[in-house]
Structure 1
Amino acid sequence: MTTKTPLKGKVALVAGATRGAGRAIAVELGRAGATVYATGRTTREHLSEMGRAAETIEETAELVTAAGGEGIAVPTDHLEPERVRALVERIDAGHGRLDILVNDLWGGNQLLDFQTKMWDVDLDRGLRMLDLGVKSHIITSSVALPLLVRRTGGLVIEVTDGTAESNKGFRENFYYDLAKNAPIRMAFILGEELKSVGGTAVAVTPGFIRSEEMLDIFGLTEENWRDGIDKQAHWALSESPVYVGRAVAALATDPGQTRWNGRSLDSGQLAREYGFTDADGSRPDVWGYLKAEGEAEEGHRPPMEDYR
Structure 2
Amino acid sequence: MTILSQATTLVAGASRGVGRGIALGLGEAGARVVVTGRSSEAGPRTDGRQESVEDAARAVHAIGGAGYPYICDHRREREVDGLVSWMLRRFGGIELAICSVWPGNEGFDGETYADGSTWGTPFWRRPAAHVEASLTGGLVPALFLARAVAPAMVAARRGLIVLVSFDTASYLGDIAYDLAKDALNRLAFAAAEELAPHGVGVVALSPGHVATERVVEAGHSEHATETPLFVGRAVAALAADPDPLRHTGQVVATADLARLYGFTDVDGRVPERFRIG
**Superposition misfits of 4+ residues, deviation over 4 angstroms:** none
Could you say which structure has the greater relative contact order, defined with CA pairs below 8 angstroms and 6 or more residues apart? 2
Cα distance, 1:49 vs. partner? 3.8
Cα distance, 1:79 vs. partner? 0.7
1:106 aligns with 2:102: yes
Q: In structure 1, which of residues 244, 247, 260 is the aligned counterpart of residue 234 of structure 2?
A: 247
Q: What's the secondary structure of 2:6's corresponding residue?
A: coil
Name 1:151's counterpart in structure 2: 156
Which stretch shifts more, 189-198 or 40-49?
40-49
Name 1:212's counterpart in structure 2: 213
State how far apart, in whole Å, the 1-side matches of 2:242 and 2:92 are: 22
State how far apart, in whole Å, the 2-side matches of 1:217 and 1:129 are: 20
Name 1:272's counterpart in structure 2: 259
Q: Which amino acid is the alignment partner of residue 234 of structure 2?
A: A
Name 2:175's counterpart in structure 1: 174
State how far apart, in whole Å, the 1-side matches of 2:147 and 2:266 are: 34
Q: Which amino acid is the alignment partner of residue 125 of structure 2?
A: D
CA gap 1:127/1:257 in 2 versus in 1, 3 angstroms: same
Cα distance, 1:11 vs. partner? 0.9
Name 1:19's counterpart in structure 2: 16
Q: Which amino acid is the alignment partner of residue 127 of structure 1?
A: E
1:115 aligns with 2:120: yes
In angstroms, what is the RMSD of aligned CA positions?
A: 1.8
State how far apart, in whole Å, the 2-side matches of 1:70 and 1:186 are: 30
Q: In structure 2, which of residues 47, 52, 58 is the aligned counterpart of residue 56 of structure 1?
A: 52
The two structures have a TM-score, normalised by structure 2, of 0.90
Unaligned 5+ residue runs, structure 2?
none
State how far apart, in whole Å, the 2-side matches of 1:286 and 1:198 are: 29
State how far apart, in whole Å, the 1-side matches of 2:46 and 2:56 are: 19
Unaligned 5+ residue runs, structure 1?
220-224, 229-234, 295-308
Q: What's the secondary structure of 2:211's corresponding residue?
A: coil
Paired residues in the alignment total 268
Query: Is this contact kept in 2: 1:208–1:286, CA < 8 A?
Result: no
The two structures have a TM-score, normalised by structure 1, of 0.82
Query: Is this contact kept in 2: 1:267–1:285, CA < 8 A?
Result: no
Q: Deviations over 1:235-265 (max 9, x none)?
A: 2x61111111111101101113422111111
Name 1:39's counterpart in structure 2: 36
State how far apart, in whole Å, the 1-side matches of 2:172 and 2:164 are: 17
Cα distance, 1:108 vs. partner? 1.4
Cα distance, 1:115 vs. partner? 2.8
Q: What's the secondary structure of 2:87's corresponding residue?
A: helix
Query: Is this contact kept in 1: 2:45–2:52, CA < 8 A?
Result: no
State how far apart, in whole Å, the 2-side matches of 1:69 and 1:114 are: 37
CA gap 1:113/1:135 in 2 versus in 1, 3 angstroms: farther
Cα distance, 1:68 vs. partner? 2.2
